[in-house]
């Protein structure tokens, strides 16, 4: 494909590029892109391709059902999600609400959470919306543009690979995160969820449009530049309007899975000193020699320096030669309410937000 997917059909052949680009936007989180691609390919080969629809083309009475994985990406490396439960989780929520889904959507960009919706869409015979609720990945349920738009997270369905399924109704989106996180821990630190059901009127105003097209364009561009022996890292930075913060070798990784998240730090040592990355599923803060260079909500992305392939937080290893990119987030995240929801202080970091600045190239 060309990388422009609007009104197109997504086939199994498109998944490698889409999953690669989704892992780039996932800022280290969103799950293993390889696993997500395999699951989506299985569903598309069994049920056929799915149609992609721009948010602006949704009819007003559309019923848009996002679907995603919730939990620690580190766990999914060892416990592959059940592909059968993905579509069934949407169907359970639809049954509870008494409505018929018309479209599936991504709630975040990420290696798994940009491909899981394709599985549900193929299984249910529904189109997918070309957009997502973040424009990147964040670790908690309430951290979506739907929250800023006043759309409720619940009712939401949650299911595990054994067939356990439940529907939550909470007083607010933050409570949905707390209760669903507890259930996810009980379910083995990973679960399938469907939530933030939207109408065709609500969806365009609360989604980042064109996410899946952008993912495919990024993924295709990396493959093309690499085949031409060019600078794949620079190509990704150009696609996102970003810049390379630092390149070097991973000299330390401290990572633990706790309370349903992969938390930790990584140190990348290179000619411009040491860059310390702090993450909670996603990279949230980048510091150089004690000075904060960029923070959430802007994107902090780690790529393999030679290949341009995205490196998730669970895949970071000592000795890995990587490049760290920064890129701007959707402007809505820089509103006062957006910063309160996903700014660095929310995650416990003692710093005000430091916005990405493309002019400070090194």
pLDDT level of residue 75 (50, 70, 90 thresholds): low
Residues 185 and 291 in one domain: no
Under DSSP, the state recorded for 330 is P
Q: From CA 226, how far away is CA 297, in angstroms rounded?
A: 29
* Domain containing residue 139: 9-211
Q: How many domains does the chain have?
A: 2
What is the per-residue pLDDT across 188-199, written as a single tens digit (0 to 9) for each? 888 999 999 999
Using CA atoms, how far apart are residues 65 and 92, in angstroms rounded to an integer? Answer: 11
- Report the CATH number at residue 344: 2.40.390.10
In a domain, 73, yes or no: yes
Q: Domain check: are 15 and 116 in the same one?
A: yes
Do 185 and 244 belong together in one domain? no
Same domain, 169 and 242: no
Do 57 and 135 belong together in one domain? yes
Instruction: Identify the pLDDT of residue 243.
Output: 95
Considering the domain architecture, whether residues 180 and 279 belong to the same structural domain is answered as no
Q: Based on the fold, state whether residues 186 and 295 are members of the same structural domain.
A: no
360 or 255, higher pLDDT: 255
CATH code for position 176 = 3.40.1610.10
Domain-terminating residue out of 160, 180, 211: 211
Return the structure tokens found at 55: 């948010």
Strand (E) positions, 223-352?
243-258, 261-270, 273-280, 282-288, 291-295, 299-304, 321-327
Digit-coded pLDDT (tens) for 78-113: 666 667 789 999 999 999 999 999 999 999 988 789
pTM of the model: 0.92
């Amino acid at each position: 494909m060309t990388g422009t997917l609007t009104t197109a059909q997504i086939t199994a052949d498109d998944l490698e590029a889409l999953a690669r680009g989704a892992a780039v936007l996932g800022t280290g989180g969103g799950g293993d892109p390889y696993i997500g691609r395999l699951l989506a390919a299985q569903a598309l080969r069994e049920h056929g391709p799915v149609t992609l629809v721009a948010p602006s083309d949704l009819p007003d009475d559309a019923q848009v059902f996002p679907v995603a994985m919730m939990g620690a990406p580190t766990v999914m490396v060892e416990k592959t999600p059940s592909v059968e439960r993905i579509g069934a989780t949407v169907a359970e929520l639809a049954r509870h609400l008494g409505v018929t889904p018309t479209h599936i959507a991504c709630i975040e960009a990420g290696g798994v959470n940009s491909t899981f919706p394709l599985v549900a869409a193929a299984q249910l015979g529904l189109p997918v919306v070309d957009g997502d609720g973040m424009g990147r990945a964040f670790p908690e349920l309430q951290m979506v543009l739907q929250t800023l738009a006043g759309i409720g997270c619940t009712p939401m369905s949650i299911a595990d690979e054994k067939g356990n399924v439940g529907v939550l109704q909470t007083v607010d989106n933050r409570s949905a995160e707390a209760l669903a996180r507890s259930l996810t821990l009980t379910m083995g630190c990973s679960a399938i969820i469907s939530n933030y059901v939207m109408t065709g009127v609500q969806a365009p105003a609360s989604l980042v449009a064109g996410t899946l097209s952008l993912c495919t364009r990024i993924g295709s561009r990396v493959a093309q530049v690499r085949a031409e022996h060019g600078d794949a890292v620079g190509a990704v930075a150009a696609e996102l309007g970003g810049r390379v913060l630092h390149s070097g070798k991973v000299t330390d990784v401290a990572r633990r899975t706790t309370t349903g998240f992969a938390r930790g730090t990584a140190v990348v040592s290179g000619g411009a000193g040491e860059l310390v990355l702090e993450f909670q599923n996603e990279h949230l803060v980048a510091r150089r020699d004690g000075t904060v260079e960029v923070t959430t909500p802007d994107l902090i992305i780690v790529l393999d320096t030679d290949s341009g392939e995205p490196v998730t937080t669970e895949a970071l290893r000592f000795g890995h030669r990587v490049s760290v990119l920064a890129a701007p987030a959707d402007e809505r995240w820089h509103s006062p309410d957006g910063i309160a929801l996903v700014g660095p202080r929310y995650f416990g970091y003692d710093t005000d937000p430091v916005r990405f600045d493309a002019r400070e190239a090194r």
